[in-house]
Structure 1
């Protein structure tokens, strides 16, 4: 793989299949500076659209209205888990809507007395941005993935409620499509009595592919097709099929990725997966192996994986 590029100012396009965060996007910042002699050219192509699920929001609303999330005796949940920005946004919207119509006094001090667990810096930032909850106790952001967060919760939550014979349930707002890593680990029937942590999953949003994605992605691919090399970073299993189809890497008859010898022309497009969930989805559903998988789902993790690949293939 060459570290040069035929595009403007020798930049290597990096197509980030996500909505650009505002006001600042850490991926844009990370890939806009010189890296080991390489200048990347980041651009964003939104893939996902999220629809709030009223049934789940109603559950959250009822819990907040009844002060059921807290450490007092009558609370039904003693902590919360967030593993996506969208679940945080859905939870925050419930509070905002309640405050707007005068449902409650607009504050929830009981939530500031319990542990809130998050996975990764993006989710942490989302939680920290909830205006109604400026003093939450947030833990686990450094874990980086669901497996590590589950192990962290097992130890931390058990210490937090060590004075109780049984652990109070955790509230886990989630999307319709999610892995069961955390509930499976925390509620493992093989755990000793009293050490299991009940997890109450509440679906607050569902995710689908934006209708405009394929068209926008193809246009960006056309504009960069003559570059010596370019990278595509995929952030979610949702959209993988459309991505492979747009790259002409998908066999329409089998629904699987085409063998390498069937791809025409010299290869110039490289695929990076944000983490093992997306990588495993590409492997299992399409028989496709991305070129790299970030060890941590962060701008630093993606950059590290890509730069390691480039250095090895120069």
Structure 2
């Protein structure tokens, strides 16, 4: 590529399509993905529930806050369901964080995906769920079916706590776990130069990179306020913070500097 600016994206590349790659290339950036963690699917508990026809009949709402959960569903759960079970799953209302995960769910065949671009974090998503169900409920929350929260092994408890405070019952089921990759710093240093952007998407696996950048003239971007707060707590100030956790907003933020 010529006349492009390198952007180091500290994230796993989503397959088969990563919207950051195409959007950055269309805007004269050179996106370089540097995975910090690896994901391992844990589908058995989720599969057991979704194969239970009585459970699926009463289940109305699923909450998903990570693309990794969608990958687990798409690759390790849905192929092991019967055709009728797959159809029943895809008809459920799914609430999710961020436009990227919402788009992924729609590509997987889910018909009713809510939140998405209007829910940039778990707290906002919980507010969306509470508002929706309050408007739709014909009875009080205490008699509504339990919401299914599909989560990672390491997660914050913002969503279930906020739902519980409104009287909504939820059940968390773990669908994946993460492990920090080896040699994150070495792989980063081999690709870094002071002219490129470094985009942080999460705190996981970045400790050594943060320490390395403290005495460098690095251009740092955060995908959102939570990541920005983490970097500040570690002594790194973001030059830009994306208004929304998706590629178009991030690109606009980078171009505004």
* Structure-2-length-normalised TM-score: 0.87
Q: Which residue of 1 aligns with 2:244?
A: 296
Q: 8 Å contact 1:158–1:167 — kept in the other structure?
A: no
Q: Which residue of 1 aligns with 2:202?
A: 236
Report the secondary structure of 2:7's partner residue. strand
Q: Structure 1 105/32 Cα, relative in aligned 2: closer, same or farther at 3 Å?
A: closer
Q: CA deviation at 1:241?
A: 0.6
Q: Which residue of 1 aligns with 2:40?
A: 51
Report the secondary structure of 1:21's partner residue. coil
Q: CA deviation at 1:81?
A: 0.6
Report the secondary structure of 2:40's partner residue. strand
Q: Which residue of 2 aligns with 1:245?
A: 211
Q: CA deviation at 1:171?
A: 0.6
Map 1:138-287 onto structure 2 (within 5 A).
Answer: 138-143=113-118, 144-163=120-139, 166-188=143-165, 191=166, 196-221=167-192, 224-225=193-194, 229-247=195-213, 249=214, 263=215, 267=217, 269-284=218-233, 286-287=234-235
Q: Which residue of 1 aligns with 2:53?
A: 67
Report the secondary structure of 1:272's partner residue. strand
Q: Which residue of 2 aligns with 1:258?
A: none
Q: CA deviation at 1:22?
A: 3.9
Q: Which residue of 2 aligns with 1:253?
A: none
Q: Structure 1 63/146 Cα, relative in aligned 2: closer, same or farther at 3 Å?
A: same
| 1:18 and 2:8 matched | no
Q: CA deviation at 1:32?
A: 2.2
Rounded Cα–Cα distance in structure 2 between residues aligned with 1:279 and 1:69: 40
Q: Render the CA deviation track for 1:7-41: whole Å, top value 9, x for unaligned.
A: x744322111123334443222222245xxxx432
Paired positions, count: 255
Structure 1 stretches lacking a partner, 5+ long: 1-7, 250-262
Rounded Cα–Cα distance in structure 1 between residues aligned with 2:26 and 2:51: 48
Q: Structure 1 162/281 Cα, relative in aligned 2: closer, same or farther at 3 Å?
A: farther
Q: Which residue of 2 aligns with 1:98?
A: 80
Q: 8 Å contact 2:38–2:179 — kept in the other structure?
A: yes
Q: Render the CA deviation track for 1:149-175: whole Å, top value 9, x for unaligned.
A: 111111112333434662221111111
Q: Which has the higher helix share?
A: 2
Q: Which residue of 1 aligns with 2:23?
A: 30
Q: Render the CA deviation track for 1:269-308: whole Å, top value 9, x for unaligned.
A: 1111111222222233x23322222121000121122223
| 1:127 and 2:127 matched | no
Report the secondary structure of 1:86's partner residue. helix
Q: 8 Å contact 1:146–1:182 — kept in the other structure?
A: yes
Q: Structure 1 29/138 Cα, relative in aligned 2: closer, same or farther at 3 Å?
A: same
Q: 8 Å contact 2:91–2:110 — kept in the other structure?
A: no
Q: CA deviation at 1:129?
A: 3.2
RMSD: 2.4
Report the secondary structure of 2:244's partner residue. coil
Q: Render the CA deviation track for 1:71-127: whole Å, top value 9, x for unaligned.
A: x4xx2x33101111101122234434524xxxx456333334431111122212222
Q: CA deviation at 1:184?
A: 1.8
Q: 8 Å contact 1:95–1:106 — kept in the other structure?
A: no
Q: Which residue of 1 aligns with 2:62?
A: 80
Q: 8 Å contact 2:210–2:236 — kept in the other structure?
A: no
Structure 2 stretches lacking a partner, 5+ long: none
Rounded Cα–Cα distance in structure 1 between residues aligned with 2:86 and 2:170: 21
Q: Structure 1 69/300 Cα, relative in aligned 2: closer, same or farther at 3 Å?
A: farther
